[in-house]
Amino acid sequence: MVQETSDKDMILPAIQQNRPALSWEMKIKKKLKIVPACLGKFRPTVGQCCHQCTPNSLRKKIGPNSFLGFHNLLSVKETHTRYRGWLVRRVCCALFVSGCKVYASPVSNRLERVCQSNSVKEALSAEQKAPEGSDSRGQLSHLSPFLPLINTSISPGLLRFLSWVLLKMFSSVFGSIQVNLNHLPALHRASQEGTVLVYVYSHQSVMDCALIPLVLFCHSLRVPYIVFPLHITSSFIRSILQKVGVLVPPALTKEDAETDRLHAPVMTSLVRELLQEGQALSFGVAPESGRGGQWLASIRQVIKEGSVPDVSLVPVGISYDCVPKSNTQVGLSSVLHWLCSLLWRRPEGIVRIDLAQPFSLKEMCESGRCRVDEWLPLQDLLLPVILNNRTDSVFGRRRMSWLLPSPHYASELKEPADPERDLSTAVILHLLFSAASCSAVMSTGLVSSLLLYRHHKGVSASALCRDVAWLTEELLFRNKDVGFGGSLKEVVRSSLSLLAPHLTIAAVPSREDPFIVPRPSLAATLHLSLHAQIVTHSFILEAVGACVVSAMLCEVVCSGVSSRVRSDGVDGEQVSGDMKCDVLLCESELTERALQLSHLLPPGFLPPCQSSQSFALDTVDSLVRCGILIIEEIPRDFPICDFLKRDNALSWTTSDDMYHSDSDCDVEEMELRSYKISHPSQCPEMLFFLCRMLAGPLRALCWTTTALDLIHTPLPEAEFMAQIQSYLCDTANTKKQHYESCSQEAAHTAVRSLIDLGVISEQRQRGGVFLGVGPLFQLSENRQKLHRFISQYLYN
């Protein structure tokens, strides 16, 4: 939070810089002044359970709602140990690690119990093409790829040593690792009661797998068995990690894992044994591909069988000032190279970790509050609007069953609706949304969003600092916490220093105010876009509403309201004066278009417990709250609330009329409600700022649709994705802008949406999954209709 206060436990420590300042940093320091505190000692409350899906878990929150502060894992002092003295201050880190509580996890007869599982027996029998009573040697030969995974254990001595090593290494990488202490008492209470905890996070970097166990270890909580998402080529590193609870699945592709008869039964049986032992689990979920969702499906299956009564899910939000780069494969040479790089590297950036309040998985699934009966394929939701120009949409939520693996999955229309599968998908979406909601906005993310979406042509340092203070207050108003503290000059100077390789900062001697411009390159734009995603998540209501308003204004412009806007070569910034004309926007059309656009959003942006109609109405209300829209009051002879002056205002009805209510509103009056664009000077800039937040994924959808004319299909999935991403990069290089639409995540999300729409068809063949153009969109006319539908929401 941008504030100054003497209470060190209530705010994050100020950002420190331990190196000489550059010339542009000195200019910023001279130019700025310390701003007053925003909210004093009060911070937004984040990480609470969903009040709709898990009200009973929400009531289990113990203690008052006071803020408990933060704990820097890298700041280990003698006060954290039981000893005092000069020598203790030299070895306090080793003493602290030796004093942390460790829960041992012996393997015992886990392999035998896995082999005795009914599902594993059936899979082995089918694999051997022999009766179930075959010898144990044959079973072990088929299970040999899974033996290291099954024999994974936690050694207390090795865990303490690696924790000490991680603390030393992270002190060379990060400036601090801040842990939010608000929900740690709930985790300690659940651990004392014997509740099995499962930690779920949104995968960003390989560092995620090390940070979560380290945080739990330093706070004397049970260290979980954590699923490692990358392939480890070194057998030495793999053997060490498997002795500290790191689960390294066999190196199989998604298609191979779905076709392997033993993979799913062994994984489910292993999860069952770990949960029955009382062990904690931790895994990450990738929103664009759904990788990691199979672990939650296994947990749900174990609970449904009755092997484990219940588990508590804990969403974890991890925020980086600088997201560490990670290779797809981890080998001994890459680890040694990374360790050597730490010798001359300066620690920079902050990591913020927020552990949310645990909630019961059984309560969410069996209470019936998380409804999935309105989930429909994306084709049923949008194709009538796209191809038939229907004005009314089909009410429902988009089914994203691809977040879970399925051995017979080909396309969403071919597989029948499965309520259990939809419920598991809803839990995954809820976890993704909760992890993003409790994640703090770092200073680099805040500055990146301003440079990408508001000042993409450059901005002076003073104007940037003014917008940083404004955006911080807007985030706090939306109950979103920030992961920085100190004065405004420290926050801006630190964020610009971390983003300096991707910016052009001009410090002219004759000018006291430096000028900052983001570099027009693919690497720089993707880096800034990655940091700005969390801000887009916080403003998703306003961003959807702004795109809808922009689409409706473009229709008004094309109908001839403003000839200046209609002229070629006029940018959005140049038409702000034309927005002073009074254009009325109908509420029903606003909500209808917001409903349509919400179906194209990536997973994790919308809470699955909220209906799509409610989300569409909230988008309109959010634009009214932020001052973009104002309600147009229609002149009347008498106020709306004066019922006595209406014609036939008092009418008697029979008491048995079940369709009558005194609170029923006049439908005619509801349809007359309309809005108009407000006229403050900052309204156009705010509208364009919000529209640009969704321009990246929407433009990737448009470009992917255009690329289908140039790709010869069908192709294997990997080759198809490579050609799509290559086309996105070539298009951006040709235009020399819009590089945020070229990321691998944007390409995967666009292709997945087009598959759900039926534009791209999936065909499972012997060589894998092949992608091609669907039969309905073989016609270029239908592809053009789809392109027009998406591009109407795209800010230009």
Q: Is pLDDT of 118 > 80?
A: yes
* CATH hierarchy code of domain 443-520: 1.10.10
Q: Which stretch, 149-153, 440-444, 601-605, 670-674, has highest mean pLDDT?
A: 440-444
Spatial separation of the C-alpha atoms in residues 735 and 471, rounded to whole Å: 30
pTM recorded for the entire structure? 0.86
Spatial CA neighbour of 573 closest among 454, 465, 462: 454
Spatial separation of the C-alpha atoms in residues 422 and 400, rounded to whole Å: 8
Q: Which residue has the higher pLDDT, 238 or 16?
A: 238
Spatial CA neighbour of 455 closest among 372, 446, 27: 446
Strands 246-247, 225-227: parallel, antiparallel or unpaired by DSSP?
A: parallel
Domain with CATH 3.40.1130 in the chain: 65-120+142-367
Q: Is pLDDT of 689 > 90?
A: yes
Judged by average pLDDT, the poorest of 189-193, 524-528, 666-670, 722-726 is 666-670
Spatial separation of the C-alpha atoms in residues 425 and 435, rounded to whole Å: 15
483 touches 12 (CB < 8 A): yes
Phi-psi group of 438: left, alpha or beta (phi > 0 → left; psi -120 to 50 → alpha; rest → beta): alpha
Q: Which stretch, 11-15, 394-398, 435-439, has highest mean pLDDT?
A: 435-439
DSSP 629: E
* Average pLDDT over the chain, rounded to an integer: 80
E strands of 109-189, at which residues?
176-180
Residue matched to tokens 């086309």: 727
Q: Please, which pLDDT band fits residue 408 given cuts at 50, 70 and 90?
A: very low
Q: Give me the pLDDT at residue 698, please.
A: 95
Give the three-state DSSP class for 194: coil
Q: Is pLDDT of 442 > 60?
A: yes
Q: Please, which pLDDT band fits residue 750 given cuts at 50, 70 and 90?
A: very high
- What would the pLDDT profile of 544-601 be if each residue is shown by its tens digit? 999 999 999 888 877 765 433 333 334 444 444 444 556 788 888 999 999 999 999 9
DSSP 777: G
E strands of 464-567, at which residues?
503-506, 515-518
Say how far residue 155 (Cα) sits from the centre of its chain.
33
Q: Give me the pLDDT at residue 580, please.
A: 52
Q: Is pLDDT of 652 > 70?
A: no
Q: Please, which pLDDT band fits residue 137 given cuts at 50, 70 and 90?
A: low
Judged by average pLDDT, the poorest of 33-47, 187-201, 386-400 is 33-47
Long-range contacts of 567-574 (CB under 8 A, 24+ apart): 572/684, 572/688, 572/795, 572/796, 573/684, 573/685, 573/688
Q: Give me the pLDDT at residue 444, please.
A: 94
Q: Give me the pLDDT at residue 510, please.
A: 66
Q: Give me the pLDDT at residue 258, please.
A: 65
The CATH architecture to which 65-120+142-367 belongs is 3-Layer(aba) Sandwich (3.40)
Tell me yes or no: is domain 696-792 CATH 1.10.10.10: yes
Q: Is pLDDT of 416 > 60?
A: no
Q: Give me the pLDDT at residue 95, please.
A: 86
Q: Is pLDDT of 132 > 50?
A: no
Judged by average pLDDT, the poorest of 45-49, 76-80, 128-132 is 128-132
Q: Using the Cα atoms of residue 659, residue 665, residue 667 and residue 671 in order, give the sign of their dihedral.
A: negative
Domain with CATH 1.10.10.10 in the chain: 696-792
Burial class (CB in 10 A: 0-12, 13-18, 19+), 157: exposed
Residue matched to tokens 């001052």: 627
526 touches 677 (CB < 8 A): no
Q: Is pLDDT of 55 > 90?
A: no
Q: Which stretch, 81-85, 125-129, 164-168, has highest mean pLDDT?
A: 164-168
Q: Give me the pLDDT at residue 402, please.
A: 82
Q: Is pLDDT of 19 > 50?
A: no
Give the three-state DSSP class for 124: helix
Tokens of 687: 């509208």
Q: At what angle do helices 419-438 and 293-305 cross, to 10 degrees?
A: 120
183 touches 190 (CB < 8 A): no
Tokens of 374: 């309105």
CA atoms within 13 A on the CB side of 660: 8
Q: Is pLDDT of 306 > 90?
A: no
Question: How many other C-beta atoms can be found within 10 angstroms of the C-beta atom of residue 565?
Answer: 19
Q: Please, which pLDDT band fits residue 349 given cuts at 50, 70 and 90?
A: confident
Q: Is pLDDT of 229 > 90?
A: no
